[in-house]
Structure 1
């Protein structure tokens, strides 16, 4: 199995001065599941080099076994500091792509032409595209071969409006992910705030929040099996 993990390069919430990036749990738990399953994993980002972690995701209240392992893992930290530039990635080399969330992807990967082209090529080939929490934002500008929104008529999950309100980010984020998915014809599924949810629609796998990250990774591995 060859899996591409695409991380954000964006480190600031708009012009607020507040830091952001990828959410540690949503990178770490899938990373360790993929490597334990014997997958060959490549880490990429729009700019290449250091992928920024949201410092909030490393606060004590949010630490998990996976994020503690990541904090002590010099090899993984080195890989995150030296991600491949997304423009240099050939999607034909991979069986699946996985996008961790955090608010960062809403700012760069949503509109990144290389990411959009990658997702569209995977969708046309029937390859697995998986994203969790805020990362389903990467699907918003992707189109089908006949020019329709990729999510139109598809069941999807992602960070909900109520979860965004609960973390006090409604007025800071560039858009509300739930509303944006619905506006493009997505059939949005959700459960209560912070409960895990994975939605699989063909080769498209999405998860609602950080609690869903491990289950999304497991669903990806099951799809490849």
Structure 2
């Protein structure tokens, strides 16, 4: 029998960016990175909201729709889920950080353009963290952490163990030259203690209240690590 978590709430951050700049290639959130984390929260009675840098419509990376499992189809077929979270995601100014125990940055290539520049969402994450909550991110979503600061203005991830989408994985995608920068390189440059596993294998790094995952295969594992933290604290 599952342990019910009382009064917990999660905020999932998703992109508004629908296109690789300078190309005719569509992008957006990698759907399973949102749904697999969301479903772990749902199974443990943790309420979930979605926020994006500008609010409103959230594009789905079409590539993610070619790799759908039963869980993804269930969420994709839920019109209430789509309307509330993908058609009408919250704007940052509609979010009260004090209401959330964890923030989770979902990935997809779109985030490479809007996450690092969203100081409003970074401020939400900073407040959640300073209130004792968790900051979590998966795959390309880790680039949202680049904007998150400590109270003294230093980079939150400087000196902290984490992971994220690897240069090797980007090369396997044949998209190295299509993104504005490489997530692995940016994390290292920011001073993070970056580690990685084999390409497209699950890899979750837990550093107290900072939890990161390497790729889409790691989204569920991040959710389980969050629940584990909640159950122990």
TM-score where L is the length of structure 2: 0.92
Q: Is the 8 A contact 1:128 1:223 kept in 2?
A: no
Q: SS at 1:129's partner residue? A: strand
Q: Is the 8 A contact 1:46 1:87 kept in 2?
A: no
> 1-side partners of 2:208 and 2:39: how far apart?
24
1:52-91 alignment runs, 5 A limit: 52-59=59-66, 62-79=67-84, 80-91=86-97
Name structure 2 gaps, 5 residues minimum.
1-7
Q: What is the match of residue 151 of structure 2?
A: 145
Could you tell me which of 179, 182, 189 is aligned with 2:185? 179
> 2-side partners of 1:100 and 1:64: how far apart?
17
> 2-side partners of 1:193 and 1:166: how far apart?
9
> 2-side partners of 1:46 and 1:87: how far apart?
10
Could you tell me which of 112, 122, 125 is aligned with 1:116? 122
Q: Please state how far the C-alpha of 1:141 moved relative to its aligned partner.
A: 2.1
Q: Please state how far the C-alpha of 1:23 moved relative to its aligned partner.
A: 0.2
Q: Tell me the C-alpha RMSD between the 2 structures.
A: 1.1
> 1-side partners of 2:118 and 2:82: how far apart?
24
Name structure 1 gaps, 5 residues minimum.
none
Q: Please state how far the C-alpha of 1:90 moved relative to its aligned partner.
A: 1.1
Could you tell me which of 209, 213, 219 is aligned with 1:203? 209
Q: Is the 8 A contact 2:119 2:147 kept in 1?
A: no
Q: Is the 8 A contact 1:102 1:133 kept in 2?
A: yes
Moved more, 187-196 or 43-52: 43-52
Give runs of ≥4 in structure 1 deviating > 6 Å.
Answer: none
Moved more, 208-217 or 6-15: 6-15
**Corresponding position: 1:19 with 2:20:** no
Q: Please state how far the C-alpha of 1:118 moved relative to its aligned partner.
A: 1.2
> 1-side partners of 2:148 and 2:76: how far apart?
34
Q: What is the match of residue 48 of structure 1?
A: 55
Q: What is the match of residue 3 of structure 2?
A: none
Moved more, 200-209 or 30-39: 30-39
Q: Please state how far the C-alpha of 1:69 moved relative to its aligned partner.
A: 1.6
Matched positions, count: 223
